[in-house]
Amino acid sequence: MTTTTSGSVDGAKHEHAIRREDLTRLRMTLGRLGRVLRQQNDDGLSYTLISLLFNIARNQPVSAGELATSEGVTPPSVTRSLNRLIELGFVSRTPDPADRRAALIELTPSGVHERERVLKSREAWLEEHLERLDDKGLESLLNALPALERLCDPELPHRS
């Protein structure tokens, strides 16, 4: 079975013939790789807390409401996770000077260190596993990076 997709990228029309089996295989492989990488932590921090830690690092200072929206969870859920990160000393909550009813969330130096530790752990795992590839396999993977990065681009047009 062949699925044909078409789209406009940079004003040019592209036709792609993608076998349904290949599309499924790509989706499942990328999903598995993402899950495996996210699981590369050795201190028991949950995926939820790590995701929040990384979100705060990208967007700080940030409000709890903004975090809830970007994480796709309820505000009470974010508040519970933030309270845990505060207990661990990884984030701080300070009053928002523009709105005293709100608070701004930022990483503490310990939070920055924890984020870096998680990143190093994930990179060490990835490096170890990339060593299993031969030169041709590694080259193929690296050559695919621009296309994979493009797939992650939030500006990529969506088809209805």
Which residue type occupies 101? R
Outline where the chain has alpha helix (H).
Answer: 20-38, 47-59, 64-71, 75-87, 109-130, 135-151
Residue whose entry in the numeric block shows the structure tokens 């000077």: 97
The model's pLDDT over 33-80, given as tens digits with 9 standing for 90+, comes to 888 877 776 667 888 899 999 999 999 999 999 999 999 999 999 999
User: What pTM was estimated for this model as a whole?
Assistant: 0.70
Give pLDDT, residue 5: 47
Residue 12 has pLDDT above 70, yes or no: no
